Amino acid sequence: MTAVWALGLFALTAVAEIVGCWLILQAVSGAKPGWYWLPGACSLLLFAWLLSFHPVASGRVYAAYGGVYVLTALVWLRIVDGIRPVLADYLGAGLILLGALVIVAHHWPRLEPH
């Protein structure tokens, strides 16, 4: 698995998770009709399915995924919620991504597909 492929998979997984949670939140809060549960549930099923394609199902890989998730969530905040991230958001995301990079860089040669 190449680093670019893994990063793309992490991003796609994050989008599926965020979309699913957002759609269900919209239904629960009453902001959108109740049928939003259905596409939300489908998106969360897609998220779970995509997790099965990650190199190894371990906390280490999920920790690295978390860094990409945070960045994706900030992009979602800006594009969907219309809220511009502030300096603290960027600094926090940078620290999280740096941590994820350290995890991946140290363990990458041993992260073989299952």
DSSP state string for 9-72? HHHHHHHHHHHHHHHHHHHHHTSS-GGGHHHHHHHHHHHHHHHTTSSS-SHHHHHHHHHHHHHH
Give the residue numbers spanning the domain of 40. Answer: 3-110
Number of domains in the chain: 1
Q: Give the model's pLDDT for residue 44.
A: 97
Q: How much of the chain, in percent, has pLDDT values that exceed 90? A: 61
53-74 CB burial, b ≥16 within 10 A, e <16 = ebbeeeeebeebbbbbbbbbbb
Q: Give the model's pLDDT for residue 29.
A: 96
**Residues 69 and 14: beta-carbon distance below 8 Å:** yes
| Average pLDDT rounded to a whole number, residues 59-86 | 90
Answer whether residue 28 shows pLDDT above 70.
yes
Q: What is the mean pLDDT of the chain?
A: 87
Answer whether residue 113 shows pLDDT above 60.
no
